[in-house]
Amino acid sequence: MTQRRAEATLRDFFAPASLEDFLAALGRHSFDVPAGPGDAPRKLFGDEPRETLLAAYDSHATQLKSYGLAPQLPPPATRPASSPQDFRELIKSFHEREYTVRIPDVIPLSPRLQEVARALETLLHQPVQAAAFWSKAEAKAIVHYDNRDNIAVQLEGKKRWFISTDPPGLQNNWKQVGEPLPQLSRYRIVDAEPGDLIYIPRGTPHTVESTSESLHLAILFVPTTVREVITAALDFLSDEDLQLRQPAFARAADSDAAALSGRVLAGLAGLAERCRSDEFLRRALDLRSSRMISSLPPLQKPAAAAQITRDTRVRHAPLAITHLRPALGTLDLTIPGEHIAIHPGVEPELRFITATDEFRVGDIPGESSDDVRIALISRLVASGLLQVVT
């Protein structure tokens, strides 16, 4: 997925708001977007989202999580389901005990959701997850905040949100032991109907109430933070500074903070000096992006080798995402699940390939011969990055 296609996908998804509205709100405040005409961009599970979820009975019935405001009984035990109807009965058993059901890891269930999630990953260079929440009418939740940013999309039914109007806490992506429940003293109310979208930054106290049986989707991510940029810079520096890779102590129980202080301060001073260079930070973030993309699930590879000619047309696979950087005398082309080392002599060709959604092999610019172009495209089709247009 090229940057241009990712932005086009997200502009479609956030309409009638703009992508710039979302980016301006990122980490700063919540905002909501009513469904547009026809609501096609946010029908992430088609016209029958319940049936889409229930069809995943074989893979998701045993993964259910649940929560409730004040249930009187413990939640039912999860179990395998034998059919969509059996899966529905299992979910109903949670509702009967006043629990809302959380169905995790739902991105693979919808090509449209896969496209939106991959567009966010292309834009942010951060991983994206999603879960579905299925509530009975009048179900409520405690006041809480999420430790990831949340794009909530109402799929079916209606839900009332009470969202803090105070600045978000932006808590780290982990909970503190013994942390008290958040307070919701100043808030706004949003009534969500099918197709409506609400963005809530992490650390924003909120609660919800289902005004009918409700199904909504939570798309979850954490934007790249300053802490992560510092970590990326430190990781990049440690590749060339042996002192940062030396053992700090032999046994943790014997660690001497006073003895470590000088070494830590020296390391931080070196990092601070290097971070004065824009080029150093750019290269550190380049490496971080490469590692993030390679950590994504691998792309689906073709079952058989494709016959590529000068006249073959190819396009990026729907879930493709790339990052190109120089590394140790080669070009590191990163795709989900894989690093591909390529000769730097074809950099102009690669820049064109990674930035162009669809093209003919013979139209690739650069000094390479047709044989080199064909070999390069054959390699990228075999990796799952490109698909032959038939």
Tens digit of pLDDT for each residue in 104-119? Answer: 999 999 999 999 999 9
Domain boundaries, the chain: 3-221, 226-248+255-294, 313-388
Tokens of 385: 């990055």
Going by DSSP bridges, is the β-strand pair 65-67/100-103 parallel, antiparallel, or unpaired? Answer: antiparallel
pTM > 0.75: yes or no: yes
Q: What is the pLDDT of residue 256?
A: 85
Contact 196, 34 (CB under 8 A): yes
Radius of gyration of the chain (CA): 24
pLDDT in tens, 175-207: 777 778 899 999 999 999 999 999 999 999 999
Q: What is the pLDDT of residue 72?
A: 86
One fold for 3-221 and 313-388 = no
**Domain 3-221 in CATH 2.60.120.650:** yes
pLDDT band at 268, cuts 50/70/90? very high
Q: Is the pLDDT of residue 255 over 90?
A: no
Report DSSP letters for 115-149, one per residue. HHHHHHHHHHSS--EEEEEEE-TT-B--SB--SSE
The span from the CA of 288 to the CA of 229, in Å, is 9
Between 1.10.3210.10, 3.90.930.40, 3.40.50.1700, 3.40.50.2020, what CATH number should domain 313-388 receive?
A: 3.90.930.40
Looking only at Cα atoms, what is the longest distance across the chain? Answer: 73
The span from the CA of 215 to the CA of 49, in Å, is 8
pLDDT band at 38, cuts 50/70/90? low
Q: What is the pLDDT of residue 258?
A: 86
Q: What is the pLDDT of residue 176?
A: 73
Q: Is the pLDDT of residue 126 over 70?
A: yes
Q: What is the pLDDT of residue 252?
A: 85
Please count the CA atoms within 13 angstroms of the CA of 108 that sit on its side-chain side. 10
Please count the CA atoms within 13 angstroms of the CA of 330 that sit on its side-chain side. 8
Stretch among 126-130, 189-193, 327-331 having the lowest mean pLDDT: 327-331
Over pLDDT 90: what percentage of the chain? Answer: 87
Distance of CA 202 to the CA centre of its chain: 14
Give the mean pLDDT of the chain.
94
- Positive/negative CA dihedral, 305, 308, 313, 319: positive
Average pLDDT over residues 239-249: 92
